[in-house]
């Protein structure tokens, strides 16, 4: 397939639906179907592929998303840099609703999600990748993070530079005890989709960074009855316009090409047996 976009955005339908001109492209992958079609469009000079993480209509819960197919599909149309907005809960009282966090660390508390392309299993097309291990000490692309932070600053939305995104299995929210424990570790925010998305991007040598919008204080950081889905949706709706503006500006600020960041050499020196698309 010829390159159709160099930048990918994995987010909700609010993002692509504001572009004037999108082309819908159905992509199949060796891992099955992604969450939805890719929506190809332009932001300024940059060609962008949007993918609604939960599918249009939001029918896929976090644990049912085919993360491998999503990242593979993006790479197969030419994407090399990915921006990934997500809704999260604040684990610290200072990260209330409306806070934007650009994390630099991640803790995986998911269970049983497929989180590698290198699982030694033979794919449906007969390809059998080798076992490989990627470095993941710094899970996010420094260039993507810098672009996101600069874009937020440009919109006078002072984003939190760094912090830890804790990813839980869901779909339920945390108990108060779990939430207090997460907070006591010093972690910043909690979400349900940031993993394995980040590590699969790394395995495909994609640049990947997350923009975490706090929609609520998590159960341990507030005194009310705990998180409700309605509350999350309401805060997200209030902030979606400015998050979209920040994303669009961040896209424009990304380097034209993948740089020399650690993301691009994740598989160096390893015989993976896998031809990246
Ligand atoms: Zn990178």
Say how many C-beta atoms besides its own lie within 10 A of residue 38's C-beta: 28
Task: Determine, yes or no, domain membership for 267.
Answer: no
Q: How far apart are CA 221 and CA 95, in angstroms?
A: 9
* pLDDT tens-digit profile, the chain (277 residues): 567 999 999 987 667 777 778 999 999 999 999 999 999 999 989 999 999 999 988 889 999 999 999 999 999 999 999 999 999 999 999 999 999 999 999 999 999 899 999 988 899 899 999 999 999 999 999 999 999 999 999 999 999 999 999 999 999 999 999 999 999 999 999 999 999 999 999 999 999 999 999 988 887 776 666 667 787 788 878 888 899 999 999 999 999 888 789 999 999 999 999 999 9
Asked if residue 36 belongs to a known ligand binding site, the reply is no
Reference 34, options 165, 228, 197, 194; nearest CA is 197
**Distance between Cα 171 and ligand 1 center (Å):** 30
Say whether the peptide bond before residue 65 is cis (omega within 30 degrees of 0).
no
Task: Determine, yes or no, domain membership for 277.
Answer: no
**Distance between Cα 208 and ligand 1 center (Å):** 6
Task: Determine, yes or no, domain membership for 272.
Answer: no
Q: Which residues are catalytic?
A: 216, 218
**Distance between Cα 38 and ligand 1 center (Å):** 22
Neighbours of ion ligand 1 (CB under 5 A): 141, 207, 261, 263
Domain boundaries, position 66: 7-260
Asked if residue 216 belongs to a known ligand binding site, the reply is yes
Tell me the pLDDT tens digit for each residue of 61-112.
Answer: 999 999 999 999 999 999 999 999 999 999 999 999 999 999 999 999 999 8
Task: Determine, yes or no, domain membership for 270.
Answer: no
Please report, for the domain that includes residue 228, its CATH number. 3.40.50.1580
Task: Determine, yes or no, domain membership for 91.
Answer: yes
Asked if residue 53 belongs to a known ligand binding site, the reply is yes
Task: Determine, yes or no, domain membership for 2.
Answer: no
| Tally of domains in the chain | 1
**Distance between Cα 116 and ligand 1 center (Å):** 19
Asked if residue 13 belongs to a known ligand binding site, the reply is yes
Task: Determine, yes or no, domain membership for 271.
Answer: no
**Residue 148 buriedness (CB in 10 A; 0-12 / 13-18 / 19+):** buried
Give the three-class secondary structure for 51. strand
**Distance between Cα 7 and ligand 1 center (Å):** 12
> What pLDDT shows up at residue 258?
87
Task: Give percent of the chain with pLDDT exceeding 70.
Answer: 96
Task: Determine, yes or no, domain membership for 217.
Answer: yes
Asked if residue 192 belongs to a known ligand binding site, the reply is yes
């Amino acid at each position: 397939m010829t390159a159709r976009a160099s930048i990918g955005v994995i987010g909700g339908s609010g993002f692509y639906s504001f572009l004037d001109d999108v082309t819908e492209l159905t992509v199949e992958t060796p891992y099955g179907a992604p969450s939805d079609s890719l929506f190809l469009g332009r932001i300024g000079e940059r060609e962008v592929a949007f993918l609604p993480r939960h599918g249009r209509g939001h029918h896929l819960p976090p644990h049912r998303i085919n993360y491998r197919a999503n990242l593979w599909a993006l790479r197969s149309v030419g994407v090399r840099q990915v921006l990934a907005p997500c809704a999260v809960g604040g684990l610290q009282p200072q990260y209330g609703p409306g806070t934007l966090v650009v994390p630099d660390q991640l803790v995986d508390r998911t269970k049983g999600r497929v989180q590698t392309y290198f699982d030694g299993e033979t794919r449906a097309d007969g390809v059998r990748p080798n076992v490989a291990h990627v470095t993941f000490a710094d899970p996010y692309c420094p260039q993507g993070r810098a672009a996101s932070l600069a874009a937020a600053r440009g919109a006078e939305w002072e984003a939190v530079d760094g912090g830890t995104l804790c990813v839980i299995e869901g779909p339920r929210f945390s108990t108060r005890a779990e939430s207090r424990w997460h907070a006591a570790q010093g972690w910043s925010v909690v979400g349900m989709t940031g993993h394995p998305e980040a590590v699969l991007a790394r395995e495909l040598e994609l640049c990947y960074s997350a923009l975490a919008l706090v929609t609520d204080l998590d159960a341990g950081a507030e005194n009310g009855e705990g998180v409700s889905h309605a509350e999350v949706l309401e805060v997200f709706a209030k902030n979606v316009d400015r998050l979209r503006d920040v994303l669009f500006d961040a896209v424009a600020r990304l380097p034209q090409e993948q740089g020399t960041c650690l993301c691009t050499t994740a598989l160096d020196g390893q015989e993976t047996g896998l031809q990246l698309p």
